[in-house]
Chain A
Amino acid sequence: MTATRTPSDPAAGRTVRRRGDRVFAGSAKGAGILILVILAGVAAFLVAEALPAVTAPGEDIPGGEGLGAYIGPLLFGTLLAAVIALLVATPLAVAIALFIAYYAPRRLAQGLGYVVDLLAAIPSIVYGFWGIYWLAPRLVPFYEWLERNLGFVPFFAGPTSATGRTMLTAGLVLAVMILPIISAISREVFLQVPALHREAALALGATRWEMIRMAVLPYGRSGVIGGAMLGLGRALGETMAIALVLSVSGGITVNLISSGNPSTIAANVALEFPESSGVDVNTLIASGLALFVITFAVNMLARWIVNRRADFSGAN
């Protein structure tokens, strides 16, 4: 045994590799390359199909004022609805995850976890119907109250939509839709906080809430951001629920409770595509390209936020 060299000995030159290792490394690499190829293919398709709309004269674009004027309000609507959804859903999802992970009795926690996961399995068009027929009418009195009491805030300037099919309603429906993914991921990272760190906090005389603030939330922070980004991705790309709920007319406005709202990119594509031909189709695809770029940018931003304090992430 003393004379033989171990396979990993660098002095042995070429290392011996088992066939199983090679097969596994190859298939893993193949899968990694495949996802890049698919992404590149989609991007190439979007660029190629969007190009005619970019080069077309402004009056040929629907609306007649050029591509920017067409996509701008859509982009604004998309981001506004997604941001509302994220602002509402993230704190709620984190609270649900904390309750399941650290407060609820074990049996209740399991049941609640299943129920939250089930929310993710409901088709988005069902959320759309729920938004139109159940949620929107019930929100009208609330919107009226907002207009009366907080009307000086531009968000609630009114006039209140009589149907309740407003940007705020759309954002709330989206919030319910992205709640399961954010809370499921948050729950998993909260449960993975090592007992060692939790006990360190408790041994200093921390209450359970202080323990969560000292040890659990900072440790789970990057996971929560990751979950929120997945939720945001779903909110940005959501089509049917928005197409059903949102009453669309007009351009950019921050008024959240009136009936004049900008549409979102995905909902607009779904509604306009059947009626479109020629450059109109290229325009819709160009709006899709814009969404693609935005999603990319948002993900890069999230990465940057997470990596900014990588030294303190607990991964080392």
Chain B
Amino acid sequence: MAKRIDVSDLNIYYGNFLAVENVTVSIEPRSITALIGPSGCGKSTFLRSLNRMHEVIPGARVEGKVVMDGQDLYAPDVDPVDVRQHIGMVFQRPNPFPTMSIYDNVAAGIRLNNKKMKRADLDTLVERSLRGANLWNEVKDRLDRPGAGLSGGQQQRLCIARAIAIEPDVLLMDEPCSALDPISTLAIEDLMTELKERFTIVIVTHNMQQAARVSEQTGFFNLSGVGQPGRLIEFNSTEKIFSNPDEKATEDYISGRFG
């Protein structure tokens, strides 16, 4: 299931503004790749370009290639809707559908792709997804209650359950713990370590300890000034980035000298 992604010479534009410049990187399957960097450096934009979510902003476009297992995601005949079915996403703030129950939230994506599924099969899938997100035991008695009634950390795990229910190849996480307390954060990090057995995970985080704790590979984004495009400064194994990075800027950032 998990697939590798090869990005080559990717430029991301909002209208005429070049937001991210010239990114070339390979993301390994069944591993966690962390993207770190100061605010506004384009790491979220880059993440959203991997499943074409940045296109919801009018005028957004890319040059270059994003290839997942031989398929260019930006080829002219590729529908962004299909891309997003294979590359799931978890957002910065938990966003379960407020009008749906916990059950319906998890089933939402399944129902989009497979409308005729039997209730029993759906039950099984919902339970498996919630177990996969380490949430089953906490919600199994109130599946018909609104998802918005859960705590922030539970809501975020509900969103993860919703994302993994459609069995994507890749899971993108955009600062998934920035709105959570430390205990909920720990629960999500444990979950990520379990999920990387099945999915390719890319996570954007402001929390460098988090990147060091969970990821195998780390990319450092930076920009040379306001209005300048963001660039991928260094991409290396997490161990190397946090002990002996190749670039001076990376070392300055992880040692807290700026950002």
Residues of A at the B interface (CB closer than 8 Å) are 194-207, 210, 214-215, 218-219, 221, 309, 311-316
Contacts and interface: CB of A to CB of B under 8 A. Distances in A.
B84, B95, B148, B163 — most chain A CB neighbours (10 Å): B95
B136 interface: no
B113 A316 contact: no
B81 interface: yes
Interface string B76-102: 000001101110110101011111110
Contacts of A203: 51, 53, 84, 88-89, 91, 163
B182 interface: no
Contacts, number: 83
B82 A312 contact: no
B18 interface: no
B115 to A, nearest CB: 11
A218 B91 CA distance: 21
Given A200-B91, A210-B112, A313 B98 contact: yes
Contacts of A313: 98-99
9 contacts: A203-B51, A203-B53, A203-B89, A205-B82, A206-B112, A221-B99, A312-B100, A314-B99, A316-B149
Contacts of B180: none
B108 interface: yes
A311 B53 contact: no
A312 B88 contact: no
Contact of A199 (B56, B96, B101, B146): B56
A273 B159 CA distance: 63
Interface in B127-173: 145-146, 148-149, 159, 162-163, 166
B100 A205 contact: no
A221 B100 CA distance: 13
A195 B93 CA distance: 11
Contact of A314 (B84, B91, B148): B148
B113 A205 contact: yes
Given A197-B98, A200-B97, A214-B108, A205 B149 contact: no
A205 B99 contact: no
B40 interface: no
B146 A316 contact: yes
B109 interface: yes
Contacts of A205: 81-82, 84-86, 109, 112-113, 166
Contacts of A199: 53, 56, 89, 91, 95
Nearest to B148: A316
Contacts of A198: 56
Contact of A204 (B56, B146, B163): B163
A205, A214, A219, A312 — most chain B CB neighbours (10 Å): A205
Contacts of A204: 84-85, 88, 108-109, 112, 162-163, 166
B88 A200 contact: no
A201 B146 CA distance: 17
A189 to B, nearest CB: 13
Nearest to A195: B56
A161 B165 CA distance: 59
A195, A203, A218 — most chain B CB neighbours (10 Å): A203
B59 to A, nearest CB: 11
Given A203-B53, A204-B166, A312 B91 contact: no
Contacts of A201: 97, 108
A221 B99 CA distance: 10
Given A199-B56, A206-B112, A311-B149, A219 B88 contact: no
B95 A196 contact: yes
